[in-house]
Amino acid sequence: MTVRIGIVANEPSGDLLGAALVRALRELMPAAKLVGVAGPRMQAAGCRTLMPQERLSVMGLVEVLSVLPDLLRARAELVRHFAAEPPDVFIGVDAPDFNLGLERRLRAHGIPTVHLVSPTVWAWRPGRVAAIRRAVDLMLCIFPFEEGFLREHGVAAHYIGHPLADEIPLEDQGQAARAELGFAAADTVVALLPGSRRSEVTRLAAPLLATARWAAERRPGLCFVAPMVSDGLRELFAAEQARSAPDLALKLCTGCSRSAIAAADVVVTASGTATLETLLLGRPMLVAYKLHELTYRLVTALRLIQVPYAAMANLLAGEELAPEFLQHRCEAALMGPALLAMLDDAPRRAEIRARYASIHASLRRDAARTGAQRIAELIAARQAAR
């Protein structure tokens, strides 16, 4: 009997996680049919998409308002599709503000629901745990501290480890990455990662380029690489470079973020999944982020964040190994000196890389296969109960 699986990933980081799960599901259930919302990696793995992933990719309390009507229409379209053609299970990948609402509606239609990547209820808007209980039959957790927290709040949860930790080798990839991107072994390379969303690149391109220009003026010979997730974001970043740093020795590339990180001596990155990827590739980093000012004021005034660090790399380390430059501190006058200080401190970089390697090893649990097995068990249990 053919197993039908619905799956929705809203953004590039979800596409990365979802692709590993899709491959594992197809290995476990070769005849499975997967359909939903998928980016290029998930589509290459064998998932059919019902709409462009970019339609659902947005972040921020204020930013979402301008596209909220279309997001609601997209969710209603997905509910109608899956209600008319019920899958044996539905999987929401991250994007909890969108996917939990979708899962709750599908669950009301009798469709078993799974969510991959626990919302950060332990850090941000803890009241969402009640919504999770209503929405999901199974939560797949990718960080070790999440399973116990959710079970204490009545959510069926299972820690599977992180798919990226399985995918990225423990061995250093720097030499091959430098050769791929055309850097020499002796070059001092800094990677600039302004994020995977248009809103992030719009806000972070200028301060990251200003930081690079500040450092290059004081340290001639530095090499910079800026990987973008799409040609559109590459054009946006290139336009900012032409305006504010036209003489900067910068290599722009599309779809090469992992190579750019691995090739770098230090990475300057937006807060988000990129900080975890940078940790797994063993590279010291600085973390930058700017929200819409009104979003930032709301978050601060309502005390919605309940953890000491913005970067997952720092949360996993339990200390600020990656200096954070958030909101008004996201400026070249602060980040430039920190960048040069990190480049000049070889023992500190070696210490950070050793810590990151230890964390990497702890997150390797064959996550995609473990998650696929839990999903298969859920499907089998529901079919047996019919």
Q: What confidence score (pLDDT) does residue 61 get?
A: 45
pTM here is 0.76
Q: What confidence score (pLDDT) does residue 62 get?
A: 44
How far apart, in whole angstroms, are the C-alpha atoms of residue 135 and residue 113?
Answer: 7
- Residue appearing with tokens 């997952």: 312
Among 142, 22, 33, residue whose Cα is nearest residue 94: 142
What is the arithmetic mean of pLDDT over 167-195?
96
What is the arithmetic mean of pLDDT over 232-259?
96
Give the strands of the sheet with 157-159, arranged side by side: 47-49, 33-37, 4-9, 89-93, 113-116, 138-141, 157-159
How far apart, in whole angstroms, are the C-alpha atoms of residue 350 and residue 342?
Answer: 11
* CATH numeric code, 174-363: 3.40.50.2000
- pLDDT tens for each residue of 49-93: 999 887 887 654 444 555 678 889 999 999 999 999 999 999 999
- Going by pLDDT thresholds of 50, 70 and 90, the confidence category of residue 121 is confident
Query: For the chain, what percent of residues have pLDDT higher than 90?
Result: 76
- Residue appearing with tokens 């779809």: 255
Same fold, 4-167+364-385 and 174-363: yes
4-167+364-385 CATH pick, 3.40.50.2000, 3.30.70.360, 1.10.10.10, 3.10.180.10:
3.40.50.2000
CA distances from 244 to 206, 288, 312 (A): 7, 18, 30
Residue 86 in 3-state DSSP? coil
Asked whether the CA dihedral 47, 199, 293, 336 is positive or negative, the reply is: positive
CB 146 within 8 A of CB 356: no
What is the arithmetic mean of pLDDT over 302-308?
56
How far apart, in whole angstroms, are the C-alpha atoms of residue 302 and residue 349?
Answer: 36
pLDDT over 60 (residue 123): no
What is the arithmetic mean of pLDDT over 222-243?
96
- Going by pLDDT thresholds of 50, 70 and 90, the confidence category of residue 30 is very high
Going by C-beta distance under 8 Å and a sequence separation of 6 or more, which residues neighbour residue 72? none
- Going by pLDDT thresholds of 50, 70 and 90, the confidence category of residue 306 is low
pLDDT over 90 (residue 144): no
How far apart, in whole angstroms, are the C-alpha atoms of residue 378 and residue 111?
Answer: 11
pLDDT over 60 (residue 299): no
Q: What confidence score (pLDDT) does residue 301 get?
A: 54
- Going by pLDDT thresholds of 50, 70 and 90, the confidence category of residue 48 is very high
What is the arithmetic mean of pLDDT over 245-249?
95
Rama region for 195: left / alpha / beta (φ>0; ψ in -120 to 50; rest): left
Residue spans of the domains in the chain: they are 4-167+364-385, 174-363
